[in-house]
Structure 1
């Protein structure tokens, strides 16, 4: 099954539609209720996340939505990172690790997590939504703390491939905004950022496909997202730190196929972030593709783009994955009308 337009709009509507009016009578229909969260959750660190001796924060997950038709939550001060598993009705063997954004201040739960997972799960992809630790919360690893969680998450997914009905060689990563920066680190960095915990840590943490959605790439002015840089490195980040943590300064040789998605009218993370990384990817001979949309703004996920050019982005990811080994030919064949 592919992510055809009817699939995309139908699933997105679950999270966006408010009270509808009956076309026949004009009478108000029963308001839609946001779909329930999946109940299958994986704790990344059963014995506790590494380097937490100096951590005193208390986790919170506030709800920003006032509409019962959809959730808009964010996770702040996370101390027990988790993966929420969304299993499709008809799995096609592909898996997707979703890394939501939030400027490294928090991680959104729905807009770039659960909402996007529902769209891809409807097309047969087994999805894993990551709730990761934040770098300014006192973890010994500092800016490496979120990457520890991402590396551990990818390894756990690959280690449990048989249980999830997925191919361990077809695990993609999708990161949005600051989550796109984290997904870029997961793709490009070769160094394990934590000591081995169990047998899963002998497995590769490198994704087999990378999707970077309006990603934070450079931490250098004038195109940096200042909030992400501040929460990752602190307000007094040195030029050396900025260079070290900017994706376009990293070695991307040997990285899996990577697709970039950005709107030209993004006022929060300028499109130049994707453009500089596209140049770097091409120089490193990474199989890559970029989609730059006239309209979409920032943080659009899947719920906020109905009727806008960027609404086709899940279809484009699906097609890119089909061409580059993430999806099998049969899985990528559109369902009959």
Structure 2
């Protein structure tokens, strides 16, 4: 008889990566409840009671009900944010705060639940300074990096390295001519540095003269390494130019991966590395909610099955 405990998938309506995982779980007769926390309270409601026996209660979507004490695992992907457009600004701010700490607090407190990943741990790991410092602590090679709001410090850093790139510390989506766009990684020169740097924080990093990139996807104890070949500074700007090859990690990489994951208490991580012209792997970043399924389609690596195993609690 199948286990009646549910898997909760928290993501936006249009998430093809979550779709394939849910399909795999359905094929295994694992009960799944999918929801977008951003639908609260219009089409998502919560009733959670905290007693001497812990937290219990229900989440209701238009088509499913999740029993909070019966969730075996929660797959937290990319839900939309809370929004109360019908309220005045101050009231909307109050309602958003209550939703975040109310529904968000319930989702973060499920008893006996495996989080992939816990939303609070995702938040911690999304801070690039913490990620880079933890990567160095774990034993990864990390390019020299400056985070600054000082034009003088930025100019000195750029002048002291042969080649420097600029990266956003976080990548909000912009609308350019009604098309979604993000700030891209770009090479900078001393002439590019002006007083506008003082307007906020910026990340500058020595450019690694690479021969290829590597995406490493960690799912529980499973590690999948895919070499990505292209002539692009940032391979994410043109997927049509990429070729993919499964590879083995060099000595020392796997222990460092697990050190990093344990430090942030992550179960899933999408790591990006640059392979230097000397063959060494340089840490660039880890995305705790990164994409991975397109690599399975390109390489045949069984990542969906590994993630379903984890959520089913088979591993």
TM score, norm. by length of structure 1: 0.33
TM score, norm. by length of structure 2: 0.35
Structure of larger gyration radius? 2
In terms of fraction of residues, the more strand-rich structure is 2
